[in-house]
């Protein structure tokens, strides 16, 4: 009760102050105009892959009949890689009574889920939603949250890595240890290494300012380095790839955008389709579908991506058998 009246007071104060922003904007709030849907869209940070996902979400939402400023109010917020911002943004989505929250990345989804167990949440590109404690099971999420996953087995990337550089014995793991999406994949890497007689050297960072030093330490003791689908590394790819190119160490990564940004290769999904699929799920929920029973969707259009420019700089010959099925992202 107490909570309700506080919310009412805050809403009243906002109305009096003439504040009509965010999900509550467009004159659609509780005083009528019920046909305008309110969508909160939160993104952890700006890096090329997440921007691609967001653009495709917005395009598909429009396709589904949710156009910002017309049929919908889409409140897009970027947290600039700050946990505290994620919380504030999601709290506002809840107090604005969004009809659905779309959360891009694992940390964003965790923040949204931390704020509401009522408003449906559709996450986008969450690598391991079970490990992140967002859903009980890929096929039966069980609560107010479901979405798309960009899970790719570390094995697939490592198989590709060993085709390109078969002599690798020690592999570095560069990642942010507070990103569940990365920890889960690095665990898989360790299993793979054990089975294949490789040694893993870890360099865990907590933010992008530590990338340069961590990369340098790995470059000194590894034959190759691997980064999972890690937001912190993706935000500092130019720094990391510079270090590894100079040290002539092949750098295998988790996502196509990280290859475009100087990584040597990955085996991964198409993030444009992932964004599209995320918006389709949001539209289904807005039309009444239940998140609890809506399975998490995984992408099946996986392929190899290489960066020929990086390969040339490293003086590595990518085998023809790899090249013929790969997309080159390094002009
Ligand atoms: N999968 C990441 C997560 O769970 C988000 C992500 C999507 C990402 N595309 C990426 C991270 C590309 C790094 C690079 O949070």
Domains in the chain with CATH codes:
27-150+272-298 (3.40.50.2300), 154-268+303-328 (3.40.50.2300)
Q: At what angle do helices 211-219 and 237-246 cross, to 10 degrees?
A: 20
**Band (268; pLDDT cuts 50, 70, 90):** very high
Q: What is the pLDDT of residues 296-317, one digit of tens each?
A: 999 989 999 999 999 999 999 9
Alpha carbon distance 172, 145 (integer Å):
34
Statement: residue 14 has pLDDT above 90: no
Does residue 257 line the site of ligand 1, with CB under 6 A?
yes
How many other CB atoms are there within 10 angstroms of residue 278's CB atom?
26
Statement: residue 330 has pLDDT above 80: yes
Alpha carbon distance 187, 195 (integer Å):
13
- Residue range 122-134: mean pLDDT, rounded: 98
pLDDT score of 238: 96
Which of 54, 78, 229, when mutated, tests ligand 1's pocket best, judged by the most ligand atoms within 8 Å of its CB?
229
**Band (34; pLDDT cuts 50, 70, 90):** low
pLDDT score of 155: 97
pLDDT score of 331: 78
Q: What is the pLDDT of residues 209-227, one digit of tens each?
A: 999 999 999 999 999 999 9
Does residue 128 line the site of ligand 1, with CB under 6 A?
no
Q: What is the pLDDT of residues 187-212, one digit of tens each?
A: 999 999 999 999 999 999 999 999 99
Of residues 184, 305, 164, 165, the one with CA closest to residue 222: 165
Statement: residue 57 has pLDDT above 70: yes
Alpha carbon distance 34, 128 (integer Å):
36
pLDDT score of 22: 57
Query: 32 C-alpha to center of ligand 1: Å?
Result: 38
- Residue range 173-186: mean pLDDT, rounded: 96
Query: 176 C-alpha to center of ligand 1: Å?
Result: 12
pLDDT score of 7: 47
Statement: residue 239 has pLDDT above 70: yes
Calculate what percentage of the chain has a pLDDT beyond 70.
Answer: 90
Query: 125 C-alpha to center of ligand 1: Å?
Result: 6
């Amino acid at each position: 009760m107490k909570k309700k009246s506080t919310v009412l007071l805050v809403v009243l104060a906002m109305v009096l102050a003439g504040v009509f922003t965010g999900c509550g904007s467009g004159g659609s709030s509780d005083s009528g105009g019920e046909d305008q849907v309110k969508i909160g869209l939160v993104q952890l940070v700006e890096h090329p892959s997440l921007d691609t996902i967001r653009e495709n979400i917005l395009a598909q939402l429009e396709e589904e009949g949710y156009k910002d400023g017309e049929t919908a109010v889409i409140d897009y917020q970027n947290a600039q890689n700050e946990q505290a911002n994620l919380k504030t943004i999601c709290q506002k989505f809840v107090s604005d009574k969004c009809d659905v929250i779309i959360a891009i990345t694992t940390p964003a989804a965790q923040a949204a889920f931390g704020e509401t167990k009522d408003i449906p949440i559709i996450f986008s590109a969450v690598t391991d939603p079970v490990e992140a404690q967002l859903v009980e099971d890929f096929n039966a999420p069980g609560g107010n949250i479901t979405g798309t996953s960009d899970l790719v087995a570390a094995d697939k990337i490592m198989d590709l890595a060993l085709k390109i550089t078969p002599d690798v014995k020690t592999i570095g793991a560069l990642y942010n240890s507070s990103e569940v999406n990365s920890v889960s994949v690095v665990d898989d890497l360790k299993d793979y290494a054990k089975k294949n007689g490789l040694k893993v050297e870890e360099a865990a960072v907590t933010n992008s300012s530590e990338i340069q030093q961590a990369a340098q330490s790995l470059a000194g003791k590894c034959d190759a380095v691997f980064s999972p689908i890690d937001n912190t590394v993706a935000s500092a790819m130019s720094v990391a790839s510079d270090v590894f190119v100079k040290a002539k160490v092949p750098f295998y990564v988790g996502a196509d955008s990280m290859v475009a940004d100087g990584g040597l290769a990955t085996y991964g999904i198409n993030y444009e389709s992932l964004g599209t699929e995320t918006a389709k799920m949001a539209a289904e929920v807005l039309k009444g579908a239940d998140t609890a029973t809506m399975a998490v969707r995984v992408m099946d259009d996986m392929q190899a991506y290489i960066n020929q420019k990086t390969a040339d700089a490293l003086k590595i010959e990518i085998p023809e058998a790899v090249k013929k099925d790969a997309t080159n992202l390094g002009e």
